[in-house]
Amino acid sequence: MGTYPAYTVAAAHVAPVFLDLEATVEKACSVIEEAARNGARLVAFPEAYIPAFPVWSALRAPIHNHDLFKRLAANAVRVPGPEVARISASARNSGIFVSIGINEGTEASVGCIWNANLLIGEDGSILNHHRKLVPTFFEKLIWANGDGAGLRVSETPLGRIGALICGENTNPLARFTLMAQGEQVHISTYPPSWPTKDPKEGGNYDLAAAIRVRAGAHSFEAKCFNIVASGFMDKPMLDALADLDKDAGRILDNSPRGVSMVIGPDAETVGDVISDSEGILYADIDLDACVEPKQFHDVVGSYNRFDIFKLTVDRSENRPVMFAAEDISRETGASRESYPEDPKPSSILEITG
């Protein structure tokens, strides 16, 4: 008989130390320790938290943003690397699971950056490493396409945990891939703001409303809990961005902010919601609540027709070069940079029922 744990989760609605890798990692470790002291078993950080979400790409033309891109690349995180080791040690010392968004760099290129998310266990091990499949809108000026290697749900003492980054939570097939692996706890990460128009023109993208729709839809369809962690812009970050252009500060001041919350399997909010202030949001969840709704609509079980619908997911890692003489033995689901390519062209997950 399965067990359904109940515990406290935390969404870190916090700002980075803008474009400062070391200081942001130090702040992340402090937040991890604080969340653990307050009884949380899992803490989720926002999208691209380390060292910042590149919102400047929405504020002025790319020909003016080369210096910011170089600063971001210089402060990108390597996986594995010393910064990840520090965060993993903090998780281990505090006995807490950590989901954290990073700008990930690579030894293969000085200018390639991925929008990535790490799930770290309470023992400090990396349980999953996911790169955002497709950067959204102006994000394409910054990030490379990810791959399917991180479309995994991790089996943990807290249940089966999965995560998607921002707009991926609008991708039905990515979401279904996690649902079909028995996901019980979903983590959704978002930026602090996502300007799409000058507010003077009206009709700007309502990030908070979009988050609520996506989070509620996934929770309701998967019958899972959804921890939503959005970023926050503190005054130093706002001031730095406002200095970019005469209109940048006004646009940011009048653009909708992100929102952090926890959603239950009935699509209802569990506990408080946080948007306009920095802080850590706590909520108590009980995975027993995921079971009963499966009787009504279990889209990865009795409420589907797998004889009609079939999904195949390619989990192979995208690499610029493969050296045939390398030792091809590897473990599954750990670091991309520390292991060579799979011996087969791809690792296929077939969801057929």
Is 174 domain-assigned?
yes
Is 346 domain-assigned?
no
Catalytic residue among 29, 83, 132, 168: 132
Phi and psi, residue 160, nearest 5°: -95, 115
Q: Strand, helix or coil at 220?
A: helix
Averaged pLDDT of the chain: 92
Is 128 domain-assigned?
yes
Is 95 domain-assigned?
yes
**Lowest-pLDDT range of 139-153, 202-216, 267-281, 336-350:** 336-350
The partner residues of 131 in beta bridges, in order of sequence, read 116
Domain at 129, CATH number: 3.60.110.10
Q: Is residue 132 annotated as part of the catalytic site, yes or no?
A: yes
Is 329 domain-assigned?
no
Q: Is residue 112 annotated as part of the catalytic site, yes or no?
A: no
- Number of structural domains (the chain) is 1
Is 214 domain-assigned?
yes
Span 267-285, pLDDT tens digits: 999 999 999 999 999 999 9
Query: Measured between alpha carbons, how far is 20 from 272 in angstroms, rounded to an integer?
Result: 30
Q: Is residue 166 annotated as part of the catalytic site, yes or no?
A: yes
Catalytic residue among 29, 47, 224, 317: 47
pLDDT at 347 (0 to 100)? 40
Query: Measured between alpha carbons, how far is 241 from 236 in angstroms, rounded to an integer?
Result: 9
Domain interval for residue 156:
6-295
Q: Average pLDDT for residues 198-210, to the nearest whole number? A: 92
Catalytic residue among 166, 168, 221, 224: 166
For 83-113, the three-class secondary structure string (H helix, E strand, C coil) is: HHHHHHHHHHHHCCEEEEEEEEEECCEEEEE
Is 203 domain-assigned?
yes
Q: Average pLDDT for residues 163-192, to the nearest whole number? A: 98
CB 74 within 8 A of CB 40: no
Say whether pTM exceeds 0.85.
yes
Is 313 domain-assigned?
no
pLDDT at 203 (0 to 100)? 85
